């Protein structure tokens, strides 16, 4: 794990309200795919409403790769039925990309 990944995950574990205001612009700047995945996971694990809304917005109208990454990141909440239903509804509204396979994969990979 490189320093950027470690820092992003440490920020997410802090769950400080200020962490999202650091992670969001950082994620938007990075281009390396693995680091972007880690960034989305860090944002998801903040457990903050603004962070979850950001991920839902990526699912709704972000670039397909970002939407897929957001689904995988927010998959840590698959047991939260209300949130996961929002994820599914938002995904189904996309016209430009079929996100259903990724929803199913995340749903199946999470323990019941």
Band the pLDDT of 41: cuts 50, 70, 90.
very high
Domain layout of the chain by residue ranges:
3-109
- Report DSSP state, residue 75: G
pLDDT at 112 over 80: no
For residue 62, the model assigns a pLDDT of 94
Interval 61-111: pLDDT, tens: 999 999 999 999 999 998 899 999 999 999 999 988 888 888 888 887 765
**Choice between 60 and 108, residue whose per-residue pLDDT is larger:** 60
What is the average pLDDT across 14-29?
93
Q: Which are the contacts of 67, defined by CB distance < 8 A and separation ≥ 6?
A: 58, 59, 60, 91, 94, 97, 99
């Amino acid at each position: 794990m490189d320093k950027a990944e470690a820092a992003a995950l440490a920020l997410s574990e802090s769950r400080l309200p200020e962490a999202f205001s650091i992670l969001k612009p950082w994620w938007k700047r990075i281009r390396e795919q693995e680091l972007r995945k880690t960034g989305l996971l860090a944002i998801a694990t903040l457990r903050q409403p603004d962070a979850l809304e950001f991920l839902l917005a990526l699912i709704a109208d972000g670039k397909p790769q970002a939407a897929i990454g957001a689904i995988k990141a927010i998959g840590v909440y698959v047991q939260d039925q209300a949130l996961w239903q929002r994820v599914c509804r938002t995904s189904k509204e996309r016209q430009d990309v079929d996100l259903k396979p990724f929803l199913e994969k995340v749903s199946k990979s999470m323990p019941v």
